[in-house]
Amino acid sequence: MTEQTTRPRRRSAPRRPDPAPAPAATPTGVFRPHVRGFGFVDLDTPVTTPEGQTVTSCFVPPPMTKGLLADDRLDVAYVVEADGRATATSATLKERVRTEVYGVVEEGLSLRIDPHLGSGKWTLEGRVEDLPVGCAVLADITGPGTADPSDEWDDPTSADALLERIRIRHRIPLDYPADVLAEVAALKPKRDRMARRDLRELTTLTIDSPSSRDLDDALSVYPADAEGGIRVCVHISDVAAHVRPGTALDREARRAATSVYLPGWTRPMLPPQLSEDALSLVPDADRDALTVEMRIAPDGTVTAADVYATRIRSNTRLSYETAAAVLAGQRPEDVADDVLDALRWLRTAGARLGVQRQRRGGVEARRVEPELSVEVIEGEAAMVAAKPSNPANLLIERLMVAANEAVAGWLVSRGLPGIFRVHPAPGADAAPVLEAFCAASGYHPGFGSTLTPLDLAALSAQLDAAADDTASAVWDVLLGFLGRASYTPVAGEHFGLASSGYSHFTSPIRRYADLAVHRVLHAFLTGHRDPEDFPSGEEMGALCAHINTAARTASQAENQMRKSLWLAELATADPATTYSARVTGVGPKGVFVTIDRSRVSGMVSTRELPGRGWAPTADGLALADAAGHRLGYGDVVTVRITSADWESGQLELALDGTTPEKAQRPRRPRKRTS
């Protein structure tokens, strides 16, 4: 994790525009703009028309979107078209939740706002005469279509400017509310009602990246017993002992729901005074923890697991690189003998868990990484060689997965509520599409009619062995089909991990879901047994919905920031530069390709393809033209950039002298002659 940085800025007091009144019977929803100027209103409550059609969102045509911003609450009137889609006929602002806009100054000192926020130009007020055309501006909203600049950047493609764009786009605050900071300053250790086991004499270590400051997990291990069982203790910072429900600190943590990690900047869920100091499991400091103790048998099964409160003291902090060196048989001088011995036993435990993971299938975190990455180093964007995962990353991943599964089983076996991580199996169409893509890329996984976790494990082993650009492209398509896991109050299957029950427990400093699980454990461990002492299913369901939304927002912000950095880099490249790429998606308007080294994706539209009549094939795996040429999943192409738009985040490409191959017709069997 990188250090959080803030920057002083001059600000004027924002004034919210007065919303115009609207008829009470008009449906209300939230505005969602599109970068091409139109938008949608997602209705609060689905509406059923007299014809029995269900309307969940309305299309808003470009003229009507002028002056509207993302997340505006609108009253809308609409008509339902013949195809069943709704089109707004009027949209009236009911509530504006944003107080700031971000954009680029144009001639006449108007502000072209970020297309992800809305469309059109806003009038700049206040002291604007010294703003150069082309600079990026953050401005406070002062009225309908007017704003007062509060900060500016001469280069809108600089890392700081792009960071601010993404921050404002996703409404990620820089600072914490004053009442939260006041609580943190006054926070004192409270009397602990929990019976804690004192494990401070046990050799304990943390493994993380050198830049990480919020260390929320530590490890201890007992050597094998007479039957070969190894007891591993996964210690997790006891955030619930210090962040209490009903406080301003808890309300802000719940609102954020997760720490946000952007290149060059981090917005922790909890203020740094807690996340990076008082609650972090730094070496040589006594800390409260919740510990999961697991007995791992020689065959890799977890034969017993328990959860209890502890007091621990970390002996040392290791980087992934140092830990990997030890796991590879080296003996770093700065690693003490007891830590070295503990790492060796942890290596055995991790290997056992790996055997069990292989038996049940699923995907581990050994995916092929891009060759190049654009990072922000000391405020400047820099192209660096990406660092692949090493054996220490894999060890930690296996131990944390095992701990999260153990907690999920612990909750279910006691009939306790929880927040569980569920990942449904892909749809029936996934297996043939992935089979076809893999075949085009040189792999024959032989999935059959359905995709299973063991299928994934077998394909993963092939990709790990290849570790080339082709394997990278297959990974991208594979993960796209698998989709995202989500939080739910009901335990269920996690397809990607091949797990029958999974929860998030190991990162309460960074994720509110884990903190909520810790509170359930706290209640049980302090003797509560009445169902009324625990959150209801409805409460957990509402919390899960909120956390899912926040997690998606954080993921979008990180992905958009990384792509913006890449697009700013590609926009300055020689237009004649060509790139090796592979087709990783097919749509009616073109094919999506992923550039090999950077794994940045863009679109080659049908208008950029030679020939005429390009349309998706019947199986949806390719585009074909009237002459029978075909371009589809897995095809290797050479492309050049026609547009790298860092504002919208869109990358448009064209084939560079590549003619799609003509589809091969199946040969007719020859007649036999006697």
pLDDT of residue 592: 94
Angle at the Cα of 287 from the Cα atoms of 286 and 290, rounded to 5 degrees: 140
> What percent of the chain clears pLDDT 90, i.e. is strictly above it?
73
Q: Using 50, 70 and 90 to split pLDDT, how confident is the model at 350?
A: very high
Q: Where are the alpha helices (DSSP H) in 377-429?
A: 391-413
- Answer left, alpha or beta for residue 67, where phi above 0 means left and psi between -120 and 50 means alpha: left
Mean pLDDT of 491-506: 96
pLDDT of residue 7: 39
CB 391 within 8 A of CB 327: yes
CA-CA distance, 230 to 352, in Å (whole number)?
Answer: 10
In the structure encoding, which two tokens stand for residue 95, read together?
Answer: 């509530």
pLDDT of residue 30: 97
- Confidence check: pLDDT of 1 > 60: no
CA-CA distance, 357 to 37, in Å (whole number)?
Answer: 48
- Confidence check: pLDDT of 16 > 80: no
- Confidence check: pLDDT of 362 > 60: yes
Q: Using 50, 70 and 90 to split pLDDT, how confident is the model at 475?
A: confident
Q: Using 50, 70 and 90 to split pLDDT, how confident is the model at 2?
A: very low
In the structure encoding, which two tokens stand for residue 550, read together?
Answer: 């926040």
pLDDT of residue 221: 98
More confident residue, 428 or 239: 239
pLDDT of residue 194: 84
Q: Using 50, 70 and 90 to split pLDDT, how confident is the model at 659?
A: low
In the structure encoding, which two tokens stand for residue 319, read together?
Answer: 């980087």
The pTM for the full model equals: 0.90
pLDDT of residue 204: 98
- Confidence check: pLDDT of 658 > 60: yes
Q: For residue 631, count CB atoms less than 10 angstroms from its CB and return exposed for 0-12, middle for 13-18, buried for 19 or more.
A: buried
pLDDT of residue 23: 34
Q: Using 50, 70 and 90 to split pLDDT, how confident is the model at 435?
A: confident
CA-CA distance, 327 to 127, in Å (whole number)?
Answer: 60
- Confidence check: pLDDT of 457 > 80: yes
Residue 363 is classified by DSSP as: -
| Domains (range + CATH), the chain | 28-95 (2.40.50.140), 180-423+486-561 (no CATH), 430-482 (no CATH), 573-655 (2.40.50.140)
Tell me the average pLDDT of the chain: 90
Among the ranges given (12-16, 283-287, 532-536), the one the predictor scored with the smallest mean pLDDT: 12-16
pLDDT of residue 191: 67
In the structure encoding, which two tokens stand for residue 21, read together?
Answer: 């009144």
Residue 648 is classified by DSSP as: T
CB 606 within 8 A of CB 589: yes
Backbone angles phi, psi at 297, to 5 degrees: -75, 165
Number of H helices, E strands in the chain: 13, 31
Name residues whose C-beta falls within 8 Å of residue 268's C-beta, 6 or more positions apart in sequence: 4, 214, 259, 275, 276, 509, 510
> What percent of the chain clears pLDDT 70, i.e. is strictly above it?
93
Among the ranges given (186-190, 306-310, 444-448), the one the predictor scored with the smallest mean pLDDT: 186-190
Give per-residue pLDDT as tens, 211-238: 899 999 999 999 999 999 999 999 999 9
CB 21 within 8 A of CB 102: no
Ranges assigned E (strand) in 34-159: 39-48, 54-60, 73-80, 86-95, 100-106, 110-113, 121-124, 136-143, 146-153
CA-CA distance, 480 to 585, in Å (whole number)?
Answer: 10
CA distances from 127 to 109, 131, 151 (A): 11, 8, 11
Q: Using 50, 70 and 90 to split pLDDT, how confident is the model at 21?
A: very low
Mean pLDDT of 156-173: 96
233-242, 422-431, 664-673, range with greatest mean pLDDT = 233-242
Q: Using 50, 70 and 90 to split pLDDT, how confident is the model at 473?
A: confident
Q: Which residue matches tokens 């790996």?
A: 354
CA-CA distance, 285 to 215, in Å (whole number)?
Answer: 12
Name residues whose C-beta falls within 8 Å of residue 162's C-beta, 6 or more positions apart in sequence: 156, 561, 564, 565, 568, 646
Q: Using 50, 70 and 90 to split pLDDT, how confident is the model at 387?
A: confident
Q: Which residue matches tokens 């004027």?
A: 12
More confident residue, 78 or 464: 78
pLDDT of residue 495: 95
CA-CA distance, 510 to 175, in Å (whole number)?
Answer: 16
Backbone angles phi, psi at 415, to 5 degrees: 70, 30
pLDDT of residue 82: 80
* Mutual angle of helices 178-186 and 248-256, in 10-degree steps: 120
622 CA to centre of own chain: 29
Q: Using 50, 70 and 90 to split pLDDT, how confident is the model at 94?
A: very high
- Confidence check: pLDDT of 152 > 60: yes
CB 106 within 8 A of CB 76: no
pLDDT of residue 367: 61
pLDDT of residue 369: 65
Residue 315 is classified by DSSP as: -
- Confidence check: pLDDT of 58 > 50: yes
- Confidence check: pLDDT of 269 > 80: yes
Give per-residue pLDDT as tens, 104-139: 999 988 999 999 999 989 999 987 888 999 999 999
Q: Which residue matches tokens 């990484």?
A: 369
* Mutual angle of helices 453-466 and 469-482, in 10-degree steps: 160
Give per-residue pLDDT as tens, 551-577: 999 999 999 999 999 999 999 999 999
pLDDT of residue 661: 67
CB 649 within 8 A of CB 567: yes
**Residues, the chain, total?**
674
Q: For residue 558, count CB atoms less than 10 angstroms from its CB and return exposed for 0-12, middle for 13-18, buried for 19 or more.
A: middle
Mean pLDDT of 505-533: 97
